[in-house]
A = this chain, B = another copy of it.
Amino acid sequence: MKKCNIGLVGAGTVGIGLLEMIRDQKEAIRMKTGLDLTVLEVATRTPNKVPSWVEAKVSNDTLSLTKNPSIDIVVELIGGTTSSLEIVQSALNNGKTVVTANKALISEHGEGLFALAQKQALEIGYEAAVAGSIPIVRALRNSLVPNQFSSISGILNGTTNFILTKMEVDQLSYKDALKLAQDLGYAEADPTFDVEGIDVAHKISILANLAFACKTHRENIEVKGISSIQDKDISNALAMGYRIKLIGSAFMRNGKILMSVQPSLVPLDHPLANVMFEKNAVYYTTSHSGAGMLIGSGAGAYPTASAVLADIIYYGNRRNDTSKEFLEINHFPGAIYGKFDEEKSRYYLRFTTIDKPGVLAEIAKILGKYNISISSMQQEESMENEPTSVVILTHSAKEGDYSKSIKEIDSLKEIIKEPTISFPLMENMGSN
């Protein structure tokens, strides 16, 4: 029986979930993996909130934990990129294997941390940082390695997927759905990080690094969130045979990588369209394995703790081996980024206009000037001279021409009352 001692930093819901799982699954894990897990220390800002059944030493001294010579693996569950960085560096410097659920840390400081780990002949597990319990990091590091990827994309944020699902199934407004998500604990009091797509940007950059074996940075991702989506966009899209999903996407075009986070219209028969509520999914297209998708619980205390625990077991078992995980960002060349301007997509456009004669002709004229042709158009019924919505589904046209035409249309101040909403159709995002 191999022993493995754990130091846990951070005892929020995921941390407590992990402690419960280790307590309850200890014997099953011994039987299934030959590993005997013990949590020796827990460090948290609020030691008095740690349940009394926890047998580990509990303190608020995170850095002394990383120096405890009896600890093999330091688990970092505090999030953010300031003290977490210091803790992980200290752990590696003190010869500990690191397991973390921190997507921001891995996305923004991965390069330096993996270089440090390599120098120390140690490993960093971060399965829980992307899509919770979905084993996509392991799949990319091992199972799918023989493939060249053409794309990887997904629904990577449970909060926004829950909001979009509730807007559809219960016909809620964005505001009410967000409120509900907050009441249920799916969304933070300040939801910016989730609803504006920043969380997804971190995650898709991590997936792109592994899939394409190159260094990507979040700053090179086009990011658009879901806060401008109205319930009528959801129902319009459904009537056209699509579901609006917040999609993080990375794909190769002529050797260059294109990355985006944006609400997209996913055809109802696409596997990603049926990923509902707080579920996450990752969809990929490859050279030899074809297309595939992993779907599962992307967030929550137990699914995240389960992914953390899987990493503890995996890296705990390997800790004294000489072979170390190789597929890591410090080995990779920097990404070469392509431009979206020349990419062709179909688009969903919604204009908020004054309902008066000639408005549609004006919009259609500008779209035509930029070679954007219209597949379908519908105008909301309204009072004359009152604001109304015009919804257009286009044929395929260049991304750059959409930007230009929308800018020109939005400048028609006498007829356009709100900035135009524009979402691409997923079938043309390079993802299938």
Partner of A303, one of B132, B274, B289: B289
A318 partner residues in chain B, CB cutoff 8 A: 321, 323
Chain A 294-322 per-residue mask, 1 if CB under 8 angstroms from chain B, else 0: 11110010110111011001100110111
Q: Are A295 and B271 in contact (CB under 8 A)?
A: yes
In the assembled complex, A431 has its CB within 8 A of some CB on chain B: no
Partner of A142, one of B286, B294, B314, B320: B314
Q: Are A294 and B297 in contact (CB under 8 A)?
A: no
List A residues 267-295 near B (Cβ within 8 Å). Answer: 269, 271, 274, 286-295
Interface size on A, residues (CB 8 A): 59
Q: Are A297 and B290 in contact (CB under 8 A)?
A: yes
Main SS at interface, chain A: mixed
A271 partner residues in chain B, CB cutoff 8 A: 274, 295
A297 CB to closest chain B CB, in angstroms?
4
In the assembled complex, A377 has its CB within 8 A of some CB on chain B: no
A213-B296 contact given A21-B146, A146-B309, A303-B288, CB 8 Å threshold: no
List A residues 311-367 near B (Cβ within 8 Å). Answer: 313-314, 317-318, 320-323, 326-327, 331
In the assembled complex, A33 has its CB within 8 A of some CB on chain B: yes
Q: Are B31 and A213 in contact (CB under 8 A)?
A: yes
A145-B294 contact given A274-B271, A288-B303, A327-B33, CB 8 Å threshold: no
A291-B296 contact given A21-B146, A274-B269, CB 8 Å threshold: yes
A90 CB to closest chain B CB, in angstroms?
26
Residue of B nearest to A127 (CB): B143
Q: Are B302 and A289 in contact (CB under 8 A)?
A: yes
Q: CA of A359 to CA of B127 in the docked complex: distance in angstroms?
A: 60
A56 CB to closest chain B CB, in angstroms?
18
Q: Are B326 and A33 in contact (CB under 8 A)?
A: yes
Q: Are A295 and B297 in contact (CB under 8 A)?
A: no
**Which one of A95-103, A133-141, A415-423 contacts B?**
A133-141
